[in-house]
C-alpha cells in the first residue's frame, strides 16, 4: 500500500515571501499521479496542482509550482509571493495508475500541513 | 465547481440511529467517492463507485454501506451510527471519463454522533 508523508505539521511565512511544503511518498509503482489540495477554513477541498509521474517537467500553476523528484519519491510544493488568501491546510495526495480494485482506486492523502501567512 | 452538492451539510444524531448522507452531481461523472476526514488522518477513502450499481470498498469501509441507483446520486449509509463515526464526510468525483482523472470534492458534511 502506498503511503504519503508530510513531515511539517505547520509552516509560517511572511506575506510576499516564498515557502516550500514537503511531501514524500512510498510506492512500488512506476506510473502514478500526485496532487496538492488546499483546504481553507471553509473546509472546501481545492485542487492546487497535479503532476503525472511520467512527465519529467515540473507542474506549475501561477504562483504554485512543484519540485518532483521521482527517484527520491519527493513532491514538494513551492508557493511564491505568498498572500493572505494562501493560509490553509495543504494536503499532498497520491493516486495509482489505472483501475486495480480492492480499495486502491481513491486518493491516498498525507496528514496535511497548516500554512500560516504572517502579514 | 464540479457541480457536486452534499446533503445534509451538518447533522447531529445519536448512537445507534441510521444515517444516510447524499452526494449529488449534475455532470454525469462515472466515478464517485466517499471520504472521511479526521484530525491527524487527512482524508481516507470509505467507498467508491465506478458506475450505476457498481461499488467497491475503500480503506475504512467497516460500518458503512453505499448505493448508487442512478448516475447522479451516491448515498452513504451508516446503519447504526457510533461515536467513532463522528467526522467530516466528503464526496468526490473524477472529472472526465477516466478513473485517473483529477478528483474534485463536494463541500463536505459534518456529522456528529452523540
B30–A contact, CB cutoff 8 A: no
Bridge partner list, A21: A77
User: For residue A97, what pLDDT is reported?
Assistant: 77
Q: Mutate which of A37, A45, A102 to test chain B, going by most B C-beta atoms within 10 A?
A: A45
B89–A contact, CB cutoff 8 A: no
CB interface of A with B, residues 28-47, below 8 Å: 33, 35, 37, 43-45, 47
Q: Cell numbers 496535511 correspond to what residue?
A: A112
Q: Using CA atoms in the order B74, B78, B84, B90, what is the torsion angle rounded to 10 degrees?
A: 10
Task: Indicate the DSSP class of residue B85.
Answer: G
Count Cα neighbours of B112 within 13 Å in the Cβ-side half-sphere.
4
B41–A contact, CB cutoff 8 A: yes
A45–B40 CB contact, under 8 Å: no
Per-residue model confidence as pLDDT tens digits over B7-33: 999 999 999 999 999 999 999 999 999
- Give the closest residue to B51 by CA, choosing from B75, B76, B33, B68: B68
B99–A106 CB contact, under 8 Å: no
Per-residue model confidence as pLDDT tens digits over B58-112: 989 999 999 999 999 999 999 999 999 999 999 999 987 776 788 999 999 999 9
B39–A contact, CB cutoff 8 A: no
A109–B102 CB contact, under 8 Å: no
Amino acid at each position: 500500500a502506498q503511503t504519503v508523508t508530510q513531515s511539517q505539521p505547520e509552516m509560517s511565512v511572511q506575506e510576499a515571501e516564498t515557502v516550500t511544503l514537503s511531501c514524500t511518498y512510498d510506492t512500488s509503482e512506476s506510473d502514478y499521479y500526485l496532487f496538492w489540495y488546499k483546504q481553507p477554513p471553509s473546509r472546501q477541498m481545492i485542487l492546487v496542482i497535479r503532476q503525472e509521474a511520467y512527465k519529467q517537467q515540473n507542474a506549475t500553476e501561477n504562483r504554485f509550482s512543484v519540485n518532483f523528484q521521482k527517484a527520491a519519491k519527493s513532491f514538494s510544493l513551492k508557493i511564491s509571493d505568498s498572500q493572505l488568501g494562501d493560509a490553509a491546510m495543504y494536503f499532498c495526495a497520491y493516486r495509482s495508475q489505472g483501475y486495480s480494485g480492492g480499495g486502491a482506486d481513491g486518493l491516498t492523502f498525507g496528514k496535511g500541513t497548516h500554512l500560516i501567512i504572517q502579514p | 465547481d464540479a457541480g457536486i452538492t452534499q446533503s445534509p451539510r451538518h447533522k447531529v444524531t445519536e448512537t445507534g440511529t441510521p444515517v444516510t448522507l447524499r452526494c449529488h452531481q449534475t455532470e454525469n461523472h462515472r466515478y464517485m467517492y466517499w471520504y472521511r476526514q479526521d484530525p491527524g488522518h487527512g482524508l481516507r477513502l470509505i467507498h467508491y463507485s465506478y458506475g450505476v450499481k457498481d461499488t467497491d470498498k475503500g480503506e475504512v469501509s467497516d460500518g458503512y454501506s453505499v448505493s448508487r441507483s442512478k448516475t447522479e446520486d451516491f448515498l452513504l449509509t451508516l446503519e447504526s451510527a457510533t461515536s467513532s463515526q463522528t467526522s467530516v464526510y466528503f464526496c468526490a468525483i473524477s472529472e472526465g471519463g477516466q478513473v485517473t482523472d483529477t478528483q474534485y470534492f463536494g463541500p463536505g458534511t459534518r456529522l456528529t454522533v452523540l
